[in-house]
Amino acid sequence: MAVIKRIAAIHDISGVGKCSLTAAIPIISAFGIECNPVPTAVLSTHTGDISGYTFRDLSDEILPICRHWRSLGICPDTIYSGYLGSEKQVDDVRKIIELFSGSGKETFVAVDPAMADSGILYKGFSGSFIGKMTSLCKQADLIIPNITEACMIAGAPYTEEYDREFIDSLADGLHGFSKKYVVITGVSFDDKKIGCCVSGEGRREYYFTERYPGTYYGTGDIFASVLVSSITLGSSCFESARTALDFTARAIKKTCDEGTDTRFGVAFEKFLPLLAVTGEETE
């Protein structure tokens, strides 16, 4: 019997919006992996295109939570960070990586530098956050930026019009900011297809799926949670990215068919059993 894997998921919890922990916990669990959440903040909703949201910072809890786990001998197979509410929290994630690296267990570190989209930083972040997040990325085995975040980290000017050569050079540059793998999300060279660029181990692949018009909130977190879970179970980063893209695409298609308000997230729940099957096949 394989011992259950464990992922420490360091993200906020937004009650409505199906992003960050409300995506990570069900997805990681569906794979048959134990999710240990480290909530960085509690919000009523995510901050994208919604006003009036509540925000309770949980910075003071982050390190004590992880130190307690460490004192119990509980060490994650993977540390997976996402939306962080302040620069101090980015420093705390670095400390968490250090804390568990002293455990003797090899820990995979995945950083989704969730800080920006469509050329601009999310509400509440200032320019100095980029430098902080960039230095955290350097501690990661895998980084999962969208194109805006990729440009910010690599120091490249953001552009909505780009070609494969641009994404290739972005991926090349990002290898200076990740120990092993770079997965750039939201890559689209025409209005029919969207996907990701996966780079590492001297290999580069592009994977695409059908593109639907509109903005689908939370899909970066859904993609990243599937990707990180699948890698934790032992699949390659390339295979895992394909799985993540297909799962995210199904949820987007269903949401598009249902015509719901996309600010409140995509309909991924009914597809979770597919991840259980993938998880079982992987083990």
Which amino acid, residue 199? S
Selected range binding ligand PXL among 13-21, 28-36, 208-216, 259-267, rule: CB under 6 A: 13-21
For ligand PXL, how many residues bind (rule: CB under 6 A)? 14
Does position 39 interact with ligand PXL (CB under 6 A)? The reply is: no
Does position 10 interact with ligand PXL (CB under 6 A)? The reply is: no
Residue among 142 and 233 whose Cβ is closer to ligand PXL: 142
Q: Is 60 exposed, middle or buried (0-12, 13-18, 19+ CB in 10 A)?
A: exposed
Asked if 198 contacts 240 with a C-beta cutoff of 8 angstroms, the reply is no
Q: Which of 283, 253, 231, 234 is nearest to 27 (CA)?
A: 231
Applying CB under 6 A, among 76, 113, 195, 218 the residue interacting with ligand PXL is 218
Residues 6+ apart with CB under 8 A from 187: 147, 167, 194, 195, 196, 197, 206
Does position 262 interact with ligand PXL (CB under 6 A)? The reply is: no
Reading the block at residue 243, the tokens are 């799985």
Q: Would you give the binding string for ligand PXL spanning residues 114-133, x where CB under 6 A is met?
A: x-------x-----------
Applying CB under 6 A, among 31, 69, 80, 83 the residue interacting with ligand PXL is 83
The beta-strand segments (E) located in 34-129 are 34-45, 55-57, 78-81, 108-111, 116-117, 120-121
Selected range binding ligand PXL among 42-50, 61-69, 98-106, 178-186, rule: CB under 6 A: 42-50
Binding site for ligand PXL (CB under 6 A): 12, 14, 19-20, 43, 46-48, 83, 114, 122, 218, 220-221
